[in-house]
Each structure stands twice: as C-alpha cells, then as structure tokens.
Amino acid sequence: MNLILLGPPGAGKGTQAKLLEERYGLAQVSTGDMLRAEVKSGSELGQKAKAIMERGELMPDSIMIAMLGARVAQPDASRGFILDGFPRTVPQAEALDVLLRETGMPLAHVIELQVDDAALVERISGRFTCAKCGEGYHDRFKACRIAGTCDKCGGTEFIRRADDNAATVGARLEAYHRQTAPLLPYYGAQGKLRVVDGMAEMAEVSRQIEAILGAPRG
Ligand code: AP5
C-alpha cells in the first residue's frame, strides 16, 4: 500500500508517518528529512537546501523529483511507502503519477491532515527531537516523561530545527497555501483524497487514519 500524507507544516505528517511505519510496516519517505541529511553532510545540494529551507521556500521541482525517484527505488520501499512532504506542487504530483504508473506502484490514498494556521504555529514552535535517535517531542503536547531525557533511547541532547522560528513559519505557511494546497482538488479529481481532523489529539488522528486504511495485514 502506498500513501501520501498531505498537510501544512506542523500538521502532524511526520508524527503519523512514524506510527504508520511501525503499525503497517510501510517505509516513511520524508523529503524534509532527506534534505536535512544533505545539509548535515555539507554536500553541495545540502548547502543549496540550507539557504532555501531557512527562507521557508520550496526546493526546485526537478531536484525533488529526482530525489524521490531514487528513494522509492530502494528495496525497503517495495513493501509500500508513506510519502511525507512530497509532492508539494502540481508538477511534483504529475511526475509522481508518471513514476507510479511506470513502476506499477498504485497510490491507495492521499490523506489530508486539516489543522488551523494558529495551531500550526504553536505546534512548530514547541517541537524538538532527540539528537541521538530522532524521536519527536513537543513542549506542551508530547513532553519527555523525565524532563531532559529521551523516553526511547535515554539521550539527553535535543535539537530544534533552524526553520522552526516565527519568521520562517509564516513563509512556509504561505508556500503551503500557494503551491501545495492546489494538490487537494488535484487528488480530489482522482477520487483519492481522504480528510482527517488533524486538530484532534494524536491518538485520535491515528484512529481516523486507520479507519481509512483498515486493519494491518498479518
Ligand atoms: P518538511 O520537513 O517536510 O517540513 P513541513 O512540511 O514543513 O512539515 P513539518 O515537518 O514541519 O511538520 P509535520 O507535518 O511533519 O508535523 P510533525 O509531525 O513534526 O520540509 C521542510 C522544508 O524542506 C520545506 O519548507 C522545503 O523547503 C523543503 N522541502 C521538503 N520537501 C520538499 C518538496 N517535496 N519540494 C520542495 N521543497 C521541499 O508535528 C509538529 C509538532 O506537533 C510535533 O512537535 C508534534 O509532536 C506535534 N503534534 C503532532 N500531531 C499533533 C496533534 N494531533 N496534537 C498536538 N500536537 C501534535
């Protein structure tokens, strides 16, 4: 089963993709995580990405389409994948349609997480992750059980993303409404779009998604 999680920055795409990865055995494909790995490596692509991401703008379609094509060709994606952060423009969605058709990998659902802009700012500004294992947290909505210690690996160092600041969040939201929101009617016309209340608590959002997907096999 191949899925797209669609929604504005901070809607909970990464949070839900990780849960679906565990529960359904699908591969999470996060283009944001891939770009952050490039930034960390200091590659030429990473240097370009760093500047664009810190401005809250989107990377060029041609780069992202090539990156996605290489990623879904990897063996772990053959068991099914969850796209988190791709596509983000109509040209990316059109290229994805071609890729899925050529590789015989059908798209089951496009799940939109609907969240108000005001709630997104609070979610993004409170987000942090464990530097060691990458587990995601939130100052208010998902704090560590023991303050300053990761629940999952016991790590004590945490990271906040460079683009998670008030100025950049405004630009990211603007990019979402202008460039990504047109994908809603695009997938609506294909009969693939399913809507979930992303304002609900994390467990309830998962429940709504699982109601769409059905119980995991085996
Ligand atoms: P990317 O990394 O994809 O960021 P994003 O889309 O802005 O999404 P986020 O990761 O910020 O949010 P999320 O929806 O995953 O929310 P999360 O689960 O963390 O992209 C970053 C940049 O890379 C882009 O700006 C662009 O420059 C570039 N890029 C990436 N892909 C691209 C592409 N295809 N084309 C062009 N450029 C591209 O949740 C947020 C917080 O809220 C967490 O702390 C979480 O704990 C909390 N939370 C989650 N769910 C709930 C809930 N239900 N209730 C309360 N709190 C919740």
Tens digit of each residue's pLDDT (9 = 90 or more) over 97-140: 999 999 898 999 999 999 999 999 999 999 999 999 999 999 99
Residue of 13, 36, 71, 123 marked catalytic: 13
What would the two tokens of residue 54 be?
């810190």
7 vs 28: CA distance, rounded Å:
16
Q: Which helix (H) or strand (E) holds 114?
A: strand 109-114
Nearest to 133 by CA among 116, 146, 150: 150
Mutational test site, ligand 1, from 6, 13, 83, max ligand atoms within 8 Å of CB: 13
Q: Which amino acid residue places its CA nearest to atom 44 of ligand 1?
A: 127
- Under the banding of pLDDT at 50, 70 and 90, the label for residue 175 is very high
Q: Determine the residue type at 10.
A: G
**CB–CB of 40/26 below 8 Å?**
no
Nearest to 139 by CA among 128, 151, 154, 150: 128
The string of pLDDT tens digits covering residues 1-12 is 999 999 999 999
pTM score, whole prediction: 0.95
Based on DSSP, count helices (H) and strands (E) in the chain, helices before strands: 9, 8
Ligand 1 midpoint to CA 35 (Å): 13
Task: Clarify whether 88 is annotated catalytic.
Answer: yes
The string of pLDDT tens digits covering residues 77-108 is 999 999 999 999 999 999 999 999 998 989 99
Task: Clarify whether 127 is annotated catalytic.
Answer: yes
**What's the angle, vertex CA 51, arms to CA 47 and CA 52, rounded to 5?**
115
Atom of ligand 1 nearest to the CA of 205: 53
Task: Clarify whether 142 is annotated catalytic.
Answer: no
Ligand 1 midpoint to CA 11 (Å): 7
Query: What is the dihedral sign for C-alpha 48, 50, 56, 60?
Result: positive
Cβ neighbours of residue 119 under 8 Å, at least 6 residues apart?
10, 199
Residue of 36, 71, 88, 123 marked catalytic: 88
The string of pLDDT tens digits covering residues 46-77 is 999 999 999 999 999 999 999 999 999 999 99
Atom of ligand 1 nearest to the CA of 126: 44
